Amino acid sequence: MTVPRLTTALAGPLPDLERQLLASQLEIERWLRSQWQEHAAPFYCSVDLRNSGFKLAPVDTNLFPGGFNNLNPEFRPLCVQAVMTAIEKICPDARGMVLVPENHTRNQYYLQNIAVLQTILRQAGLSVRIGSLLPDITGPIELTLDNGAKLKLEPLERRGNRLAVGGDEPCMVLLNNDLSSGTPEILMNLEQTVLPPLHAGWTVRRKSNHFAAYRQVAEEFAQLIGIDPWFINPYFEKCGKINFQEKKGEECLEGYVTEILDDLRAKYKEYGTTQEPFVIVKADAGTYGMGSMTVKDPSEVRGLNRKQRNKMAVVKEGLKVHEVMVQEGVYTFESVDDAVAEPVVYMIDHFVVGGFYRVHTTRGQDQNLNAPGMQFKPLAFAEPCSSPNPDDPGCPPNRFYAYGVIARLALLAAAVELEQTAEAALAPSGTSRAA
């Protein structure tokens, strides 16, 4: 497989960071191995990374990844082996699984993702039936996808405290639905193992909680290899109780934008970075890049026009935004075919299984690429991210190894985050998380 042309600005400390990651490979892998003894990795996960030439950091972590169709098919065996490992830990005797997708019955790319995911699970030795939450699916429906693949959607049934599809009541339920519109009653209080757990959905999950956990992980990791944590950790703050349409909460938003921009200017000066710092204001819950904007001056959050306010006020499933995260913006200096690009790394259990580049021809280096018009380069990783060559610093797998390391740090943070939200969900009413 060939790799699409990758251009990275090798300026500032990033080459030093890459060399340190390579030089510390034994310590890194040993440390990560110890972490997985203490924390259970999510079943699967994808991480959006940004490589600025002076910084490499995650900017989003998705616990319901929907792009398995964009992975290099030559690495399918990595996915199958990782699924086997995960299943052995969760339910070694498992024979079947219910896969619950999003309600995107007209999105061909998403449906192709489901078809690939079903194939991976079947190759791992599982009988997989796809159970839809759509109320208008009352019987089996077979779809023929644009790529020739076939997909059968079937209605979900509730039998006591078990979920069934047809006559099957498998021991596991795999969600590829992020529960943006809430947790359906049919999924609640099941006896079966639900992966990821319900509190991983956007009904409960908040990006700020994830990045708080990531900050802890990054600081410990940075101490391990002797780097400034800022090289791998984006600054952020959470601003709650905001209403864009009614212009409420702007003081909070403006204050955090000012604070982070000031901190970034100090860091940029410390490391001789000449770019203009910026932040991303994004909804604290939700996916698909909705409810997101680039800000370079605090005054910009005061002067939003009606179109901008409407864009920020609502995200996926029409949910209104009342909580936002102000996150340090990380430039991307990567390009594929002269288009701005960012790597997305996919993991199953705690294994890196591949990735691709999200590419956007009309977006800039300081903008969110997860937006209408984006494209994917599915063959971006010609070799696994886990195979660096310290004797050849310029070889592509070395950069991909760096991507894999940072992505696994985000995965570890997700594991910690889920532990914390599980504790909060189990706490008696009136008991705070800090108590």
Q: Reply yes or no: is the peptide bond before residue 196 cis, omega within 30 of 0.
A: yes
Q: Residue 418: what residue type?
A: L
pLDDT of 343: 87
Dig out the tokens for 73 from the structure. 């098919």
Give 10-residue mean pLDDT values along the chain (435 residues): 42 64 91 97 96 89 95 90 95 93 89 97 96 94 93 95 92 94 93 96 93 98 96 93 74 91 96 92 75 85 73 65 89 76 91 84 57 53 54 61 92 97 63 33
The Cα angle at residue 331 between residues 328 and 333, in degrees rounded to 5: 160
DSSP secondary structure string for all residues of 300-357: GGTS--HHHHHHHHB-GGGPBP--EEEEE-----EEETTEEEEEEEEEETTEEEEEEE
pLDDT of 430: 40
Say if CB 409 and CB 347 are below 8 A apart: no
**Residues ≥6 apart with Cβ < 8 Å to 266:** none
**Residues ≥6 apart with Cβ < 8 Å to 198:** 179, 183, 187, 188, 204
Nearest-10 Cα torsion for 32, 35, 41, 46:
-40
Helix, strand, or coil (residue 15)? helix
pLDDT of 133: 95
pLDDT of 337: 72
What are the C-alpha distances in Å from 125 to residues 93, 95, 122, 193, 273? 11, 7, 5, 17, 51
pLDDT of 5: 42
pLDDT of 12: 43
pLDDT of 77: 92
**Residues ≥6 apart with Cβ < 8 Å to 303:** none
Domains of the chain (ranges, CATH numbers): 14-66+205-422 (no CATH), 74-200 (3.40.50.11280)
pLDDT of 88: 95
